[in-house]
Amino acid sequence: MNEPTPIHPVPYAPGFETPEDDEAQTAFDLQTTMRSISTKTYEDSGRALRSVHAKTHGLLVGELVVEAGLPEAYAQGLFAQPGTYPVVMRLSTTPGDVLPDDVSTPRGMAIKVVGVAGPRVEGSENDVTQDFVLVNGPVFASSTAKQFLGGAKLLAATTDKAPNLKRLFSAAARGVERALEAAGGESGTLKALGGHPETHPLGDTYYSQVPILYGSYMAKVQVAPASKALTALTDSPVDLKDRPDGLRDAVVGHFARAGGTWELRVQLCTDVATMPIDDAAVEWPEARSPWVTVARVHAGPQAAYGGELVRRIDEGMQFNPWHALAAHRPLGSIMRVRKAVYAMSKRFRAERTGIEIAEPRDLDGLTPLV
């Protein structure tokens, strides 16, 4: 591996996290708001969906390989020793309702690493998993938990309403976004509202957006295409006209004939003034701390969607950043208020489907097949 640029990461201290005023009330209100999204989609569709990232575009089985010879600052927690772990992955888009793919919104990638040993965060004591929940943009849409709640209320108000109008708005938003990008800019707001370019999700780079503990330090996480089969798909257009599940078709089609490798990278906090823990809308400057590869994720050719995968992964698992080693505890107010939302969503889905949602201890029987 290339030797990373020497940096001086800041050791974690509790004082870097400052609870917001009325944070407990914000968490309760967010939980109520997200439940209203799930309730609405359940009433309209009869399906118990996730409150966000409801639509699945691919389900993968693979492995995570931790790099050997990492410098001390990067050899932390899960990445302290070289090793290989089984993983499952889920690709999605952000809304809580299942929309045609030409309503083009940001994409998500969730990774569950299985067989991880070590002290764990509260509520995850008996598990052996480490989850990374990622979106294909470097920063969160809201700076604070209260702003996040405001955005969630707007999302709830538009859930399952006027899908054809959403498609028209999405087309217009994509046009404006293309013009902005041609001029060297971009708009996270436009992308969130349906203006995301109609490109292949396997070519995207995904980010944790919010920080986690990284052993003695603090970090954000990035997962980026590394193999030629995936980097060739970066910014590659996907025709979604009259193809409501075109993104899933693209993912399934790719893995029917090829595999892929991603690099899992971390960016360590070296300056809490310019790399804040509690403001999730600030992009940490790479000039102060570059992204460094600490592991690789491999997924070979396989059936990337189907009955057994849906039953065991989509319906039988939850991807939650609080499924974590203590060494990788989520940080910041937005991560804290999300904890109750994940618990609510798990209960909501299990109560209505009758399917137990549990953390796997192995992936027996989930052998990738083409």
| Per-chain mean pLDDT for the chain | 88
Closest CA to 287 of 296, 278, 276, 275: 275
Domains of the chain, first to last: 14-353 (2.40.180.10)
Confidence of residue 165 (pLDDT cuts 50, 70, 90): very low
User: Which phi-psi region, left, alpha or beta, contains residue 194 (left: φ > 0; alpha: ψ -120 to 50)?
Assistant: left
Residue 159: per-residue pLDDT: 64
Written as six digits, the tokens of 289 are: 């701390």
CA 36 remoteness from chain centre: 22
DSSP code at position 38? H
pLDDT band at 370 (very low <50, low <70, confident <90, very high): low
pLDDT of residue 156: 77
| pLDDT tens-place string over residues 53-99 | 889 999 999 999 999 999 999 999 999 999 999 999 999 998 787 88
Query: What tens digit of pLDDT does each residue of 220-261 get?
Result: 999 999 999 999 999 999 998 889 999 999 999 999 999 999
- Write the DSSP assignment of 139-179 as a string of letters: S-S-SSHHHHHHHHHHHHHHTTS-HHHHHHHHHHHHHHHHH
Cβ neighbour number for residue 308 with a 10 Å cutoff: 12
**Token code pair at residue 143:** 């700076």
Q: What is the pLDDT of residue 180?
A: 39
**What is the reported pLDDT for 96?**
80
Torsion of CA 34, 116, 329, 226, to 10 degrees: -80
